[in-house]
Amino acid sequence: MTDAEAYAAPTPKVFYIHDDLSEYICRRQGEASPAWQITRELLALVRRDPNHVVVLTLERQITLLLAHRTYSPFALTIGIGRAGERVAQQIHTRTGWFPNLARVDVTREEDGRGGYNVVTTTGIPLGQQLPRLDAVASLALVDDTVFSGLTMRTVLQALPSKARTRTQAFCLRGVASSLASIRALCPIASGFAAPGSLLDEVSFINASGLVMRIGIRHPNQPPQAFFERPMWMRSWFPGYADEVIAVCRRLNAILEPDGQPAQFP
């Protein structure tokens, strides 16, 4: 069995795609660029079956998150990876909640047997990346997505127990059952919570992972974009996956012309 075969992708009833591409492409390439036109084409194509594929926008998710309640500024905020750091910055510009921001560089990586490990992206163990938390009066922990909850649980469990009692977690989107597993460790606020079981009923990806080699990470191998795993694409876009793959390849040729993973964002 190959690594790809170990990671079957059941067709979810509802497949959510967070559009993190539009702003990135507009800023880097401009609205007159071929990349922008292909991005528009891609997002229109994946919406072909609106009962199955839902495209989420940043604005909508932040609006939902802010509608829940307000918070006093946290003494310290930890963003999980670049994505969590970016989300914390985006929320802070509207709320002022996260004036002191740190980042831990970890990500989820396939273990080759159908499971995942949380690994450092810098070679520095997670525990050594954490700032001193003994005197921190309030701590926010921010990520973009809580899908299985593995990454956020791993970071929470690495915190000193006393610090965890002063922690509030945040994410823009998550699976409701996984958010419940986080609440067993600390409170969590989310913008959008999807009901249903993982993979079979609901799944999430970022649009950037469709076209850039940041979506799938393996140990001791280069990362891949989702379009490079056709069996997943056929599960996600039944009946028109080949069209989606072709558009992804065109956009990838512009964004990663040398075949090497680009820095995102």
Q: Is the Cβ–Cβ distance between 185 and 153 less than 8 Å?
A: yes
Residues facing residue 152 across a β-bridge:
none
pLDDT of residue 172: 97
User: Which residues neighbour 246 within 8 Å (Cβ) at sequence distance 6 or greater?
Assistant: none
Question: Minimal CA–CA distance to 179: which of 190, 168, 167?
Answer: 190
User: 60-191 adopts what CATH topology?
Assistant: Rossmann fold (3.40.50)
Task: Please report which confidence band the pLDDT of residue 265 belongs to, taking 50, 70 and 90 as the band edges.
Answer: confident
User: What angle is formed at CA 116 by the lines to CA 112 and CA 118, rounded to 5 degrees?
Assistant: 125
pLDDT of residue 264: 79
Mean pLDDT of 7-11: 75
What is d(CA 211, CA 248) in angstroms, rounded to the nearest whole number? 5
What is d(CA 102, CA 110) in angstroms, rounded to the nearest whole number? 26
What is d(CA 3, CA 7) in angstroms, rounded to the nearest whole number? 7
What is d(CA 27, CA 16) in angstroms, rounded to the nearest whole number? 24
- Give residue-wise pLDDT tens across range 189-245: 999 999 988 878 999 999 999 999 999 998 888 999 999 999 999 999 999 999 999
CATH 3.40.50.2020 in the chain is located at 60-191
Asked if the model's pLDDT at residue 6 lies above 80, the reply is no
What is d(CA 249, CA 25) in angstroms, rounded to the nearest whole number? 15
Asked if the model's pLDDT at residue 2 lies above 70, the reply is no
Residue 187 DSSP one-character state: -
Q: 148 burial class (0-12, 13-18, 19+ CB within 10 angstroms)?
A: middle
How much of the chain exceeds pLDDT 70, in percent? 98
Q: Is the Cβ–Cβ distance between 75 and 136 less than 8 Å?
A: yes
